[in-house]
Structure 1
Amino acid sequence: MAPRGRPTRTTRSRPVTTTPPPVTTTPPPVTDPTTTTSVTSAQLQAMINEGVTAALAARDTTRNGDDSHSSGVGIRRPVQVARECTYPDFLKCQPLNFKGTEGVVGLTRWFEKMESVFSISNCTTASQVKFATCTLQDDALTWWNAHVKTTTPEAAHAMPWATLKKKMTDKYCPRGEIKKIEAEMWNLKVKGTDVVAYNRRFQQLALMCARMFPEESDQIERYIGGLPDMILGSVKASKSKTMQEVIEFTTELMEDKTKAYVERLADNKRKAEDSARNNQIQQANKRQNTGRAYAAGNVDRGQYEGPRNIRNSKIYNF
């Protein structure tokens, strides 16, 4: 104990500074991929948003094929999906009926019209025969029903359109009639300058004589062979590659030739009329001049007072 009466001395303690131990960087522990890693809610939401965005982009790419349907500002336009053709849609295109008595030309026109309706109505391949056979009537309908009985309606309607065409051609195009049509095709020529009628008949026969022309060049050669000499050389020199090109060129060329011919005839007629009119005027002037000369001659003879022959005159003295 400190003696009483003397103040107690206090000693201030200095702060003790301690040196931290050196920080050593240790690699993160190797974790097993099968172990579960904790993910925060924000990270999980970001991952979900990223996945949804990628899925939407993949869907749009598959549906549209490119960015042509995008407005450029991130808003995608709705894509309209084509609706499958129904039988009422098919009938709205007004397909032809076929009875089986129209002959080769009627059957060919039925084929042509039916294929046009398929294209316009977007008729699927699976529905073509089913819809087309609904337009059969009378003998043709009886023939089709007999064919269906030999199989099933499902199998009959699953028949390809090309197969149905062949069956109907064999049924309603007798071999003798086909030969007549082929002979007409070989001898077909332009009558006068009527290229339009020639084009129409040639295309009709070409549909029925497909086996005559394995290549389109063969068909072009046969077409040119039926043209008149006035345009034959020019059409050959054009070297058209397709039937459509050669038909268009021939039609335009014949129109120009016909127009020039008509203008030349009109010009010759006008010249002939002018010449005849001039001849009439000249004849009228000639007759008028002749009449005037004749009238003038008569007047001169009446006014003539030349010397009289005194020797022949008698003098009477009273």
Structure 2
Amino acid sequence: MTYTKKWDWAHKWFAFSLLAMLVLNWIIAFGSISNLSGIILQIPSSLLFVVMLFGLGWGIGAILFGKGMDILGMALGYPIIMGINAAAGTIIPALIFSPGIFFQTRGKLIIAGAILTVAGIILCAKASSIKAPSESTTNSKQLGKGLIIAVIAGFTSCLPNLGAAFSGQITSIALNSGVNSILAGNVVWSLFFSSGAIINAGYCLFLINRTKSIKSFFNEHKAINWILMLAMSVMWIGSFYFYGIGCSMLGDYGLIIGWPLLITLSIVVGNLWGLYRGEWKEASAKSKRILNIGLLILIGSIVLTAMSNKF
């Protein structure tokens, strides 16, 4: 998104929603599951409704993420949203489907990893706020509104994992239809992200219509802009499909172990990419030191969480 030219956020996010959540999503789903249509027809309507509802909720959460960050800023908004995302996406499936795990060494390591993840997120956000302090001030009324939005965004951001956890019956239908066990979850992603696209793309079109800026899609940079958004879409939707494959290979606790790893690694890689691009070149020694500590803590949480699967 950084390299696109003369496109507002709404144009970028619409292109991303269209390509990642719809076009590529279904290409991957149909490419990996030959009888996908037949499997979907076997899914009870009540279960389809649940998955689609999770997807719609996640779509709303994606919008609220931006709103919460805009009101609260990096230092407060990011750790609240991503901390809740990582913790809730790990703990809620465990509490509902495998509550006994918390009495095992595996569960204790997962909890310890989640705590370290939240701590690392807070430090990385703190480092970013020192590097680029917000110039806006937030009054108490706005702060309260921002906190509510951030909390909702945090819980809705983990809905992909919750949607997968509550869709075991869909996976079973796919398995009974002869789908490979590591690909069965692809049915869930195809439905989940399609409903998420409705909210995301719809909101973007609303913004584009309000600003009368639809012509921006056809500016002189349109070709490179669409190529860049396509590349972003491939990496994003691909990461979720690979995540599903990885979770299936981890066994019964795949979603519980996999989610904190996915979130933590995405934050680590994002910060390392920022370092590579020189975003921290002019930052103070203090902010760099805090960032390094935060990244080390996040790496520690990855190690702890990965170790939990050995017990």
TM-score class, shorter-chain normalisation, is: under 0.3
TM-score w.r.t. the length of structure 2 is 0.23
- The structure with more helix, counted as a fraction of residues: 2
TM-score w.r.t. the length of structure 1 is 0.23
